[in-house]
Amino acid sequence: MGTSGGGTSGARAGAPLRAAVVGVGHLGRHHARLLKEVPGVELVAVVDSRLEHARSIADPLGVAALASADELPADVAAVSVAVPTSAHHAVVCPLLERGVHVLVEKPMAATLAEARAMAALARDRGLVLQVGHVERFNPALSVPREMGVKPRFIEANRLAPFTYRALDTSVVMDLMIHDIDIVLELAASPLLRLEAVGSHVLGRHVDIANARLTFENGCVANITASRVSFEPLRRTKVFADDAFLSLDFAARRAFVVRMAPGFDKGSLSPEAATRFPPKGSFREFVQQGLMDLREIDMDETNPLLTELTAFVAAVRGARGEEGPVAPGAPSGVSAEAGLRAMEVALRVTEAIEGHRWS
């Protein structure tokens, strides 16, 4: 496989993009199933160090099962990597060296040095390297994007019941990093300062954490993540000068309150209160016509399928090909964005470790 031109050697216009998945555990098996559904993609193989397990995933899909990424055919152009984080660097870098475009699950790598090396290698080779922050593709997030909201304050809560699956890492890297990535996109400003606190509940790593991020534009974000909760919750609230949004990432629903057209905030006064019921609720206040309230239910789009489709579109673009992607479709999370989220997550971890308890 050639490495010049971002792995375009031998590519034929309109030919299926030959792809594979490395690591088909809890999440990777879904990558394989859905990647096979992406138009214009030919899933060639799945790879897992547990060869019998790889066969159990590969056989129903009608593809090859391999024990190592080194065994992938030379004409594989794109690979989705869903191995444990500790192995990201060791798996991704040889693929990039071969000229293969890569989507790697979050967090990008086990260390910043590894993540930066991966990003630099992809940049030097002219290859696509995207990071699997799948919540970026949740349809609930499309609402603030389309509204062009400029947040003043963001409150994000991501709570999950306990499982044994992620005990090898902290809740910051396991769950909070999703909301760190979302907050960085919504705030759209450099981070000014950060405070964080967390607690070990069941394991060696932090199981519940809270971080407060202040940005140069004045936006403040309060982020809480827990993997020891009784009930799951994935909700973000966005407060702006002229709008309030509550985004439910689990239900894919948005609740939006905005100033009604023509409403002048300066027109309110204590004297104006006589026009409203003295004990009226905020909802009754809204019904007076001063605010516009909407509840938006999203479609049943699969965020992981959307993410994989965006990755394929980026690969086709890098190869100078046209892909069957709808206009306006969301773009993937770049290596730079994934690296930025990881940098902030590690700062949160350091702040938690440095917090002093009396």
pLDDT in tens, 2-30: 333 444 444 555 689 999 999 999 899 99
Residue 356 has a pLDDT of: 79
Query: Are 159 and 230 within one domain?
Result: yes
Query: Are 340 and 231 within one domain?
Result: yes
Q: How far apart are CA 97 and CA 72, in angstroms?
A: 14
Query: Are 167 and 127 within one domain?
Result: no
Q: Which residues of 326-336 are buried (b: 16+ CB within 10 A; e: fewer)?
A: eeeebebbbbe
Query: Are 269 and 143 within one domain?
Result: no
Pick the residue with more confidence: 291 or 183? 183
pLDDT band with cut points at 50, 70 and 90 for residue 233: very high
- CATH of residue 225's domain is 3.30.360.10
Classify residue 242: in a domain, yes or no: no
Phi, psi of 42 (to 5 degrees): -110, 105
Classify residue 247: in a domain, yes or no: no
Q: Which domain holds residue 258?
A: 253-297
C-beta of residue 332 within 8 angstroms of C-beta of residue 317: no
Q: How far is CA 285 from CA 213, 257, 260, 261, 288, in A?
A: 32, 12, 12, 15, 5
- CATH of residue 320's domain is 3.40.50.720
Residue 328 has a pLDDT of: 54
Query: Are 105 and 32 within one domain?
Result: yes
Q: Is the pLDDT of residue 229 over 50?
A: yes
Query: Are 198 and 146 within one domain?
Result: yes
Query: Are 340 and 206 within one domain?
Result: yes
Query: Are 112 and 219 within one domain?
Result: no
Q: How many domains does the chain have?
A: 3
Residue 145 has a pLDDT of: 86
Query: Are 144 and 75 within one domain?
Result: no
Query: Are 23 and 93 within one domain?
Result: yes
Q: Supply the DSSP symbol for 153.
A: E
Query: Are 339 and 228 within one domain?
Result: yes
Q: What is the pTM of this model?
A: 0.85
pLDDT band with cut points at 50, 70 and 90 for residue 321: confident
